[in-house]
Chains A and B, each alone.
Chain A
Amino acid sequence: MKRFRPDVDAPEYHGPYAPYDIIKEGTIAFVVVAILVVALATLFGSPDEQAVTIRTWSNADPIDFATTALGELNGTTITAGYGAPYNHASLGQELGPLHLAHLVGVTIPVNPVQDFIIAPLSSVPNDHPLRVALAQWHVASKAQRATWVARYTRAASHMTWTDGHIVVPATHAGPVGVLINSLTQMARSGALDQALVTGHGFYTTNYTKPLLFVADGTYFAHLAQRQHLLGAQWGMMNETDSYPGQAWLWLYTFWYQVPPFSTSANADVQVWAIMMLASLLLLFVPFIPGLRSIPRKVRVYRLIWREHYRSS
């Protein structure tokens, strides 16, 4: 006869049965939960903070917008240095010897200079200085462009917003000043929002490019900080205002708060690896000796089945 394993096998039940009206139980549960949901929705509603547009960003903080645009040109923004799946700028995060994103490759190509700056500016009509600046940019060598951008970047700490224009005291920076100022004007008019979205054609539901651009600026992060949404504020499980958000992501969010993940450059891939492992452990609990014995050993079941044990 096969040996009885208490964490795998269940004893055969020969005890009494009680009446059970499954349809009545389901109906009562539905009514009670529906009342609860209606009460919660009526009392608390739901958050709906308006989306940030490039227009609102560049009007609220033109310096931050222009600095971000310059960052796309000089390669210092998050997107510019991201790597796969957007570009080849870096190997991306590593898990041991593996750069998983890099292994899969660039599947959603994003070239910040071309996609965020040059292509949108090329669609602006009737702007002679901009047309000249773009022509100058196009014919210049890669090294020449880098020199212009570097000179402009060195002076950018003195950037001001004066009389509706971005002003940077840079010399010999070629067309960079015109490009940055024109892009800021375009953004403030709302045309850049459209240009980035319609880059995919008339119909689109893909907001990858405008979202990446907005997320490169500090304006967006400041708004999120005010709404307690930053990573260090348990932001992955929060939502705007004081709503419960995705509370079920507490364990995922927890890892980002503690060392070494709170300071690791590879935190995302490390936390995902931990959560994948945790999910697999949860899935295969019935087959993992030791883990599957926990319920029998901690004896919480005595509380759950207290009536049964009392009567037997």
Chain B
Amino acid sequence: MSSADIERQWTTRLRHRVTGHLPPEKVLPDTQPAYVASWIYVFGVTTMVALSLVILTGFVLAIRGPQWWHTSNVGHYVNSLHLWSVEVFFFAMVIHLWGKFFMAAWRGRRALTWMTGVVTFLTSIAAAFTGYVSQTNFDSQWISTQAKDGINATGAGSIFNVLNLGQMLMWHIVLLPLVAVILTAVHVVLVRVRGVVPPFDDTPPEKP
């Protein structure tokens, strides 16, 4: 096989494409533009580590099943860790979102980065909601019976039945986390590909 044949291979082309857009120094940078110097930048990484804690504590809860935390002190404590990592996750994500809005972080071909962030935010809201209705306690009873009216009124209730515990639990522990994690990964890759948005050019125009 000639080297030209190898260059035509799908695998080779994909590798060139990936390494072209995302060379190692972009994946794991050791420098960054000097303007990336504000506390607001902390909330992106905070969101990500909080998400990892949400998933980690969710894994532990999943080992013994959805009812374990009602009957075990350890289980209840893990549930508390899960709850508070979710609260920190949303707190950080909302600040991250507003920070990026005020930076107009979609500038310079970064619209897709913004959009994946927004969809991740909306997906996370759905993931948290399905968690609340899967708790198998009074909160899940009340929240599901109230929320059904809004979802039913849109017609979506015909396939998304918030009173069906099994369905909500599957959405909570499989479908929505998978979507949220994939979207987060795409979002981070886009940030690495395009870089952090530069500041607005505030140089006053020169007088003629």
Contacts and interface: CB of A to CB of B under 8 A. Distances in A.
A69 interface: no
Given A17-B34, A20-B31, A211-B141, A309 B202 contact: yes
A308 B88 CA distance: 29
A44 interface: yes
A50 B137 contact: yes
A295 interface: yes
Given A240-B139, A286-B111, A296-B104, A44 B80 contact: yes
A20 B84 contact: no
A33 B46 contact: yes
B138 A301 contact: no
Nearest to A208: B163
B14 interface: no
Nearest to A223: B138
A207 interface: yes
A58 interface: no
A275 to B, nearest CB: 9
A92 B32 contact: no
Given A29-B49, A30-B49, A268-B149, A85 B157 contact: yes
Contacts of B45: 25-26, 29
B37 A41 contact: no
Interface string A15-29: 111111111011001
A277 interface: no
25 contacts: A8-B106, A10-B197, A17-B34, A18-B31, A18-B36, A18-B37, A20-B36, A26-B49, A34-B49, A40-B87, A45-B80, A51-B140, A85-B161, A92-B153, A108-B161, A206-B167, A229-B142, A235-B146, A246-B128, A247-B90, A279-B118, A279-B122, A286-B106, A304-B102, A309-B199
A252 to B, nearest CB: 8
Given A29-B42, A37-B84, A301-B103, 9 more contacts: A17-B34, A41-B81, A48-B70, A48-B76, A85-B158, A206-B163, A240-B138, A248-B94, A301-B199
Interface in B60-86: 69-70, 76-77, 79-85
Contacts, number: 274
B40 interface: yes
Interface string B46-61: 1011101100000000
B152 to A, nearest CB: 5
B164 A206 contact: yes
Interface string B112-151: 0011001100100100110010011111111111110111
Majority secondary structure, B binding face? helix
B129 A246 contact: yes
A107 B40 CA distance: 47
A47 B140 CA distance: 11
Interface stretch (A97-105, A145-153, A181-189): A97-105
Task: In the A-B complex, list the 6 residue pairs whose CB atoms are closest, starting with the nearest.
Answer: A205-B166, A10-B108, A286-B106, A41-B80, A269-B153, A49-B138
Given A22-B28, A296-B200, A268 B153 contact: yes
Contact of A46 (B76, B111, B136, B145): B76
A205 B69 CA distance: 18
B152 A84 contact: yes
Contacts of A206: 161, 163-167
B90 A248 contact: yes
